[in-house]
Each structure stands twice: as C-alpha cells, then as structure tokens.
Structure 1
Amino acid sequence: MKKVLIFTASTGGGHNQAATSLEEEFIIQGFNVTKVDALKETSKILDLLIADGYKVLAKNLPKLYGGLYKISDKKRINNKVTNIITKLVRKSLYEKIKKNDPDLIIATHPFIVNVVGSLKEKNKIHIPFISIVTDYHIHQTYVNRNVDAYIAGSNHTKECIIERGIPKDRIYSYGIPIRKDFLKPKLVHKNDDAFTILLMGGSMGVRSIKKVLKNLVNNKNKLRVIVVCGNNRLLQKRLKRRFKNVYKNKDIIIYGFTKKIPILMDKSDIVITKPGGLTTSEAIAKKVPMLIPYMIPGQEEENADYLVKSNMAIRVTEINNINDIINKITSNKEILDTMRDNMQKVASNHSMGNIIELSNRLIKDYETEWRVSYGK
C-alpha cells in the first residue's frame, strides 16, 4: 500500500479543508494517508505567531494583514521570511517524514513548500512533492524549484505560476480540492418561484453580514435568504433575534454550522460570500454565481479580481447598493445564465481523479529514477 503524507496548517479553514478532501479521496483509492498540521506539530511558537496571528489580523486588522501580504510577496523579503521559517521547522519536519516514510508528499499550505523544497535541495529526501495552490493567484511563498507538480484552481492560476518562473509542464489546472458532495449532480431543486440567496461569510463578523441581510429584507421582490453563520454562534443568535419571521414576502432561514452547503447551493440562485479559495471553488463546481460584498485584503482581493474578470462573480462595492444588483439580476435571466456558463468552463477542468493519476505517475517515476533514501 502506497503512503501519502499531507502537510497542512491552520491559517484559515481552506488549507485544512483541501487536505481533508485529498485525504478522503486517497484513502478511497487505496492509499495509506497521514495528515499533519505542520506548524502545530513542529513549532508551537511559529503556530502561535502564524496561525493565531493570521486569525487576529484578518479579523481585527485586515488592512495591516493585506499590507503584510503584499510586502511578503516581494521575492527578496519573502526569501528572508521563508528561510527563517525553514530553519526553525526543517529538523522536526524531516523527522516526521522519516517516521512516516511516504511515497508522496503533498502540501496544502505555502509555508511548507520551502521547507520540503530545502530538504530535497540538500538531498535529504528523494520523494515526489506536490503543492496545492488554494487560491486563484499565487504568492511568492509557493514558489520553489524543487516542487514536482503544482495543482492550480484555473488556467489563470497556471499562468500566474508560470510568470513566477515555474515550468508550465509542472503545473496542472485540476482544481482546488473540494469535498465530493460539491461535484455531484444537482440533488435538489427549488419548489417555488422565490429568488433564493445563500448568504455566507460569518468570519467577517456581525456587522458586515447583518448589514447585507438588513438590505435584503427591504428588497421589493419575493426572496428566500438562507444564512449560514458557521461557528459564529453569537452571529446566529443575533440574526435569529433580529430577522426571524418578521418580514412580508421574505423567507429567512438561519443556520449555524452545517454540512449541508452542497444542498443549500443546489437550492440557491446566487451566493453572497467572501472570496476564499475553497468557498469560491465550491460555488464554481455547483455553478452558483457569486456576489462579493466583503473580503479580507490580500489573497481574497486577488481571488475577487479573477472571479469578476472571468464573469463568475459581481463585486459589490457598497453594501447599501446590493438591492440594485439583485433587482438587475432578477429582471434579466441572461446575466446569471452567462455566469453559470463561465463557471461550467472552469469546472470542466477540475478532477480529483486526475490528481490521483498524477500522483501515481510521480511515484512510479521516482521509483524508477531513485531508491527512496534519506541523507545523514
């Protein structure tokens, strides 16, 4: 049984979700899989600084986070930062690799890329290495010549990676890994004529999502609004108290954490969300056009730019104007039809099966060229 070692990190949920989706598929395909939160298990200090630091900055100081994201995207500065991280965790990560003795290593977080890349550079390991890019643009932290294959969410992402100097034959537009449920044909259909909106983005806090909902309930049209608050129980409680069963010709349904997102997307005409890589990939797979009224500066801004330019999403620059956009969409069916067609074109390239096939090929190539060994 071939062994796969998947490294992730807990800066936002997307990296872990992608790792879990890969883990599930590799197990189905007969692999022995180990998933490791690399920062948590190698350096508690770094995990505190990076993972917890991300959560604090993204939630409370998003502009500062966006500035740090852009500064660290510069090659010279990025090299200094990633080299420090590599020196701090390389030994521990190397021990994890030796202990697991994998046939393949996959990273769903960019901070792992330089660490594994340096071990390959120093001939400490001779193992195929795949990097999963979990956004639609690429940050300099992902770039390392020792990566054997990059999995990109779109052809646009592939071009961005090529611009950073990575050979195009190492880049595969197989899609950001998402749960299988999002890849299934539509399971449910609406049973009435109410325009249905799926509203997500609880991690942005109470104010933004509450402001969107406050505008939607004042829309003149008959609307069904399905709100998903995730683990934000305070948000769920406040929204239920404020909006539940009080508006004429509006059906407001409020969830906390739920695993029913694929079904809720099937029921929805549009999704209003922040543009995280995983959430937007799920929407693309389900062909549900997006409205983007809020985002964290940095990678989410870049994702939004791509989605809007590709006509799969509409950017809402002012939440108070969101009803104008809703009214335009509901009165012109062709707008959403065109957006769905664009999503279908992107989604048609996505395949977890292709990722498995690529993995098998890399393992076979390495077995032919190398005897798996470790440096002293």
Structure 2
Amino acid sequence: MKTKRERKILILYASYGDGHVQVSKALQQRFLERGLHNVLMLDLYANAHPLMDAVTRFAYLMSCSFCPKLYGWSYYLTQNMQHKWTPVNFLNTFGIGALREIIRVERPDAVINTFPMAVMAELRKQTGLQIPIFTVLTDFVLHDRWIHQEIDHYFVANEELKTAIINKGIPAERVKVSGIPLRKAFCQTYNKNQLFLRYGLEPSKKIVLIMAGAYGVMRNLKKICRALLDLEDIQILLVCGKNQALKERIEASFAQKPNIYIFGFVEHIQELMSISSCMITKAGGITLSEALSLQLPVIVFRPLPGQEKENAYFLANKGAAKIACKIEELVQHLEQILYERQQVSQMKKAIYALQRKDASEAIVLDILNELDGAGV
C-alpha cells in the first residue's frame, strides 16, 4: 500500500469565475499540510481546448454583464437533464481525450472535481479505470451537471443539498455534508484595530463592503455608491476585482469623496470582510460561504438567474441574507442591518446555524481515510 507521501491527487476545475479556483487551492493547501505534496491542479477545459475555453469564458462574462437571462435560460434548461441527451453528453465528454492522456502520464490515485464536469466519470465508465472520484459542490443548491453514477463521493454544503442528491438516486452513504471548502484564512480571527490602521479607516464609522465579483460584473455600481454615500457615518469599500477599467471609472467618479475606498483584486479579502458591518455582493457560492464563515451579514443585489439566484434565495429563506432588486430596497435593507440591533442579531443567529467549520480539513481527511480503506 502506498504511503500518503507517495500518493498523487488530481484536482479538476474550470475558470468560470474565481470560486472554483479558490476551492481547489484550499484543498491543495490542506493536502500539503497533511504531508501529501503530489497534488496537481488542472484547468481541464483550458488545457484541452484553450481557444474554445477562452471564447466560452468571454461569452459567460458577457452574458452575466449584458444578458443574464440568457445564462439563466441555459442553466434552468439543463437543471434536470438526462445524461443521454446529446448536448449533455457533449459536455460530459468535453476534454476527455486530453484527460485520458493526463491520467496516463500522471497516474493519480484519486481525482477531485470542484466544477460541475463529468469528464472523469465518463472516462472511467468507458475505460474501467479504477481511480476514486470525489466531487466537491461549490453551491448551496443542486444542478444535475454535478451528478454522475460513477462518482464515488460527494461533499455538499447543507442537508437540503444532500437530500436532493439522494433523491436523484445516489446512495446516502456517498454524500457527506461538509460545507464548502475555504482557504485557511477564513477560519481565523483578526485584530480589527490593526486592520483599521492598515487600511486607513475610522473605527467609529460603519463599514460597507461592496464586492463587484472577480471580474467586476456587478451592475449599477455608481448609483449604488451615490445612494449609500447619503447615509450617515459609513465608509464604503468597493472591490472591483480584475476589472481595471471599472476601477478607473469609479475612481474618476468619486475622486472627491473621502468615505469611499476603491480596490482592484484583493488577495486578502478576508481582512476587509472581517472589519465590515455588511457586504453587498453577487451570489457566488464561495463568496457567500466566506461571509458565513466570518459571520458577515450579506445583501445580494440583483442575483443573476441560475445558481446565483438559487444560492441567494436559499440563504434568504434561512434568514442569513437579504435580496434587493432595486437600489431603494438595497438602502432599506442596509439601514436595517447597520442601525437595528435586533435585525442583525437575528441574521447572525441564522448565519451561525449554517456554518460548517473548516470544511477543507474535513474533506481532505475524509478523502485520505477513503484511500486508506481502499488500500490506495
């Protein structure tokens, strides 16, 4: 039997948004801390078909920005799909040739999916490869692209998601409620006074963090900022992600406003989140999980149709987040969170009930135990 140091793990992800990459890095880091150094992260679609991957990622970003209903239509069309359906079969085998070669060369002892792709499952189905497959779901709700009968184990965010997968015919023992894995930085506490000094902020004023997404696709940011600046004693931290053009436009528009601080991509976003009173954001599963981990109340502004909308409504129905579709509604929710203690107390109780501490560690330990038990 191989020792843990000799094992090799392959993590498959895709770069549609930043969340799947962050989850993969979080797992990779925990494996490293456990002494397993052969952990390979692979953006399968970019590796297999770089041109098509670039085109589809661009189309994804454009649809999020300018035609979100189109993305939502495609999401709901395939939500309860049959794997034999031709478009689904195409997706399930997209990149299978490249993956076959990577498996031949790298010879991993286990494969982990952090993106809803069934390529490894289809490859095992076609070839009979005896490689364990683990899938880590990065949303709070189910889409059928995450499911395949060849996947050995699923790690999910909540009991409702586990039940949904079981209802699709997957045995209960193959589904574990672990939470969504996050970087270790989100499992720590921070000295807020030091962070106030580091970022030049006033501790006496409330801080509102606005997250435009990794690629800065949230709309109406200028209108949101203008509306929030009318509130008393607040400071606005606006994170524009990798959208440099957006950052420059916002900086030009609010150059004379001392209470708004504008950032590009922030590597240590946990620092800004830990000193904020509320976060206004898109509804990516990772960002929402990070907020839950730090007990940060969230307002989701105009969630995009698809998994973001479903994530937002899941948390809103639990009382752990609020949804605003109009700026006036956004301001109303924000005032409640900032100035009504009972409101924020109730939200934090709901957030606490949903927290899953250190999912990364739990998932890595479970995978290693499964490999030990299988003699891998």
2:151 is matched with which residue?
147
C-alpha change, 1:41 and 1:293, in structure 2 (3 Å) is same
Tell me how far apart the structure 2 counterparts of residues 206 and 119 of structure 1 sit (CA, whole Å): 37
* Residue 132 of structure 1 pairs with residue 136 of structure 2: yes
Which of residues 177, 180, 201 is equivalent to 2:181? 177
Q: Structure 1 vs Structure 2: percent identity of aligned residues?
A: 27
1:322 is matched with which residue?
330
C-alpha change, 1:211 and 1:77, in structure 2 (3 Å) is farther
Q: Which moved more, 1:234-243 or 1:32-41?
A: 234-243
Aligned AA for 1:167?
P
Tell me how far apart the structure 1 counterparts of residues 58 and 334 of structure 2 sit (CA, whole Å): 36
Deviation, structure 1 residue 50: 3.7
Deviation, structure 1 residue 49: 5.0
1:187 is matched with which residue?
191
Deviations 1:236-284 (A, max 9, x none): 222222224436xxx2211111123111111111111011011111101
Which of residues 344, 368, 373 is equivalent to 1:336? 344
Deviation, structure 1 residue 64: 0.6
Which of residues 251, 256, 263 is equivalent to 1:240? 251
Q: Which moved more, 1:165-174 or 1:124-133?
A: 165-174
**Quick check: 1:183–1:285 contact (8 Å CA) kept in 2?**
yes
Deviations 1:154-195 (A, max 9, x none): 223222222322222111221212111111123325663312
Tell me how far apart the structure 2 counterparts of residues 210 and 167 of structure 1 sit (CA, whole Å): 49
Tell me how far apart the structure 2 counterparts of residues 206 and 349 of structure 1 sit (CA, whole Å): 29
Aligned AA for 2:102?
K
1:25 is matched with which residue?
30
Tell me how far apart the structure 2 counterparts of residues 72 and 281 of structure 1 sit (CA, whole Å): 25
**Quick check: 2:238–2:263 contact (8 Å CA) kept in 1?**
yes
| Secondary structure of the corresponding residue to residue 186 of structure 1 | coil
1:197 is matched with which residue?
208
1:218 is matched with which residue?
230
Deviation, structure 1 residue 63: 0.8
| RMSD, aligned CA | 2.1
Aligned AA for 1:354?
A
Deviation, structure 1 residue 43: 2.3
| Secondary structure of the corresponding residue to residue 212 of structure 1 | helix
Q: Which moved more, 1:18-27 or 1:80-89?
A: 80-89
**Quick check: 2:297–2:344 contact (8 Å CA) kept in 1?**
yes
Deviation, structure 1 residue 86: 3.7
2:115 is matched with which residue?
109
Tell me how far apart the structure 2 counterparts of residues 78 and 195 of structure 1 sit (CA, whole Å): 53
Which of residues 333, 337, 357 is equivalent to 2:365? 357
Deviation, structure 1 residue 328: 2.4
Which of residues 170, 179, 184 is equivalent to 1:166? 170
**Quick check: 2:93–2:122 contact (8 Å CA) kept in 1?**
no
* Residue 7 of structure 1 pairs with residue 18 of structure 2: no
| Secondary structure of the corresponding residue to residue 375 of structure 2 | helix
**Quick check: 1:105–1:129 contact (8 Å CA) kept in 2?**
yes
Which of residues 15, 19, 44 is equivalent to 1:38? 44
Tell me how far apart the structure 1 counterparts of residues 94 and 301 of structure 2 sit (CA, whole Å): 39
Deviation, structure 1 residue 288: 0.1
C-alpha change, 1:230 and 1:364, in structure 2 (3 Å) is same
Unpaired runs of at least 5, structure 2: 197-201
Tell me how far apart the structure 2 counterparts of residues 56 and 121 of structure 1 sit (CA, whole Å): 35
Tell me how far apart the structure 1 counterparts of residues 150 and 218 of structure 2 sit (CA, whole Å): 43
| Secondary structure of the corresponding residue to residue 127 of structure 1 | coil
Q: What is the aligned residue count?
A: 362
Tell me how far apart the structure 2 counterparts of residues 255 and 177 of structure 1 sit (CA, whole Å): 25
C-alpha change, 1:165 and 1:158, in structure 2 (3 Å) is same
Q: Which moved more, 1:84-93 or 1:308-317?
A: 84-93
Deviation, structure 1 residue 51: 3.0
1:297 is matched with which residue?
305
1:372 is matched with which residue?
none
Tell me how far apart the structure 1 counterparts of residues 373 and 342 of structure 2 sit (CA, whole Å): 48
1:279 is matched with which residue?
287
1:64 is matched with which residue?
70
Unpaired runs of at least 5, structure 1: 369-376
2:100 is matched with which residue?
94
**Quick check: 1:127–1:366 contact (8 Å CA) kept in 2?**
no
